[in-house]
Amino acid sequence: MYEIVYGPMAQPWQARLSKETREAFPRLHALVREDPRAAVAELRAWIAREPLPMFFNWLGAAYSVLGDTDGMRDTVLENYRRNPQYLFARANYAELCLCDGDIAGAREALGAALDIRPFLGGRRRVHVSEVAAYFYAVALYHIQAGDLAAAEKVYEMLDEVCPDDVSTENLRRRLHPRLRDLFSR
């Protein structure tokens, strides 16, 4: 069994980082939503001196908020190339593959068994954001593969674990569109 963590979750590798880097995490993460343009500039500077996988992940998210598809795509590809074991790099890369119609590439990124465990490095605790990102990509894979029953099972799990997450809502709209959803596209 796994324990899903909903609050902050310290990782052992974080202790090896400088105090300055650790203290920058909350501010940089918040900056992605509050001022994505400033986040892009700051995260690029941080990546130049400390190319952490999460910095790439946040940079990709900032580009996405700005609507910079090329910046987002380049960042996701670079993160996956540099950090293939990083769960968010895999999930984001799988989504890119699916957008490009590369279902085999998505399956490779998500793992042959579509199982999150190999990407947790032996951990038994998993953050809810990891669950949401990985299984959202798995559900999109199932939808594209034509297995709506499997996608529905993943959606039900996400609806139980993280009902308010944007990925859960996006899946609900895809699998169970309401009339208002059809007109809001």
pTM listed for this prediction: 0.92
75: CB partners within 8 A, 6+ apart: 56, 59, 60, 63
Assess whether pLDDT exceeds 70 at residue 179. Answer: no
Assess whether pLDDT exceeds 80 at residue 180. Answer: no
Q: Two tokens at 45?
A: 């500077």
Q: Given the DSSP bridges, would you call strands 3-5 and 125-127 parallel, antiparallel or unpaired?
A: parallel
Q: What percent of the chain has pLDDT over 70?
A: 96
Supply the DSSP string of 164-177, one letter for each residue: TSHHHHHHHHHHS-
